[in-house]
Structure 1
Amino acid sequence: MVFDVSVALTWILFIALFPIAFFWFRRAWRIAFRRDFSEVALKGGEPPPNAEKVAPYVMVVNLLAGCVAAVVIVGVLLGQLDYNTWTAMAGSTIWCKFFIDFAISRHAHMKRGAKPQHRAGK
């Protein structure tokens, strides 16, 4: 095995899965058991006024993403997943988690009954 850029990026992805899974599980734990909604659907660093309403969705997304990351970690360590499979699973999970979190946060911050404001010219 020659150490080049692709090998370095692969190691970075694999090692990054450990803290990523930890933070996702921790966020799901805080929402489910501690009823801490301070990190739910943040937009501009502020939670929505109805964070309790979207908290179950955020918890499920974090729990599922954390489980997939944990399965990938265990699968790689046991040699059960080949390179293409685990990198696809890890990368897809990370990106889908970010997109879903973004969609939930935007939906939670919508004002009901108000028209969307467009910033034309600014």
Structure 2
Amino acid sequence: MTISVAITWILFLGLFPIAFFWLRRAWRILVERDFSEVALKGGVSPADPEKFAPYAAAINLVAGGIVVAVVLMIVIGGVAYDIWSAIAGSTIWMKFLADYILRHHAHPTMWGKKKQAASKDRP
């Protein structure tokens, strides 16, 4: 067994928990209406997590669906290693990037005078 075979198996087996967690998160947001994991930044929810919930659900649902499709393509044997590893890797990175963008959109950074004025207004 070479190291590349071991890494291939690790990537393939890692797709199962990834798909499970992403699809479970989409289920919690869409069906259970649980917004506790929507756009967290530093463990803190945004001011209105329900506003960002559809976007978080879509990100998780699409990414989880792609990973499940990749697993099915691997099991059926209809796709080469280079193709499925590229699809899986790109999906993982795009999911992280989309979550990052959503998180920073949900928690806007205040710059300059606005930030100073907001801190003076606080008792």
Q: TM-score, normalised by structure 1?
A: 0.88
Aligned length: 113
Of 29, 36, 39, the residue aligned with 2:37 is 39
1:48 paired with 2:33, answer no
Of 88, 111, 117, the residue aligned with 1:115 is 111
Q: Once superposed, what is the RMSD of the aligned Cα atoms? A: 1.3
SS of the residue aligned with 2:36?
coil
Q: Which amino acid aligns with 2:26?
A: A
Task: Using the TM superposition, give the Cα deviation of residue 47 of structure 1 relative to its aligned residue in structure 2, in angstroms.
Answer: 1.2
Task: Using the TM superposition, give the Cα deviation of residue 49 of structure 1 relative to its aligned residue in structure 2, in angstroms.
Answer: 1.2
**Unaligned 5+ residue runs, structure 2?**
116-123
In structure 1, the residue matched to 2:60 is 62
Q: Which amino acid aligns with 2:111?
A: K
Q: Percent identical across equivalent pairs?
A: 53
Per-residue CA shift, 1:70-112, capped at 9, x if unaligned?
000000001011111100000000010001101100110115x
Runs of 4+ in 1 over 2 A off after TM superposition: none
CA distance in 1, matches of 2:4, 2:43: 35
Q: Quick check: 100-109 or 3-12, which moved more?
A: 3-12
CA distance in 1, matches of 2:2, 2:107: 44
**Unaligned 5+ residue runs, structure 1?**
118-122
In structure 2, the residue matched to 1:12 is 10
CA distance in 2, matches of 1:55, 1:6: 39
SS of the residue aligned with 1:49?
coil
Q: TM-score, normalised by structure 2?
A: 0.87
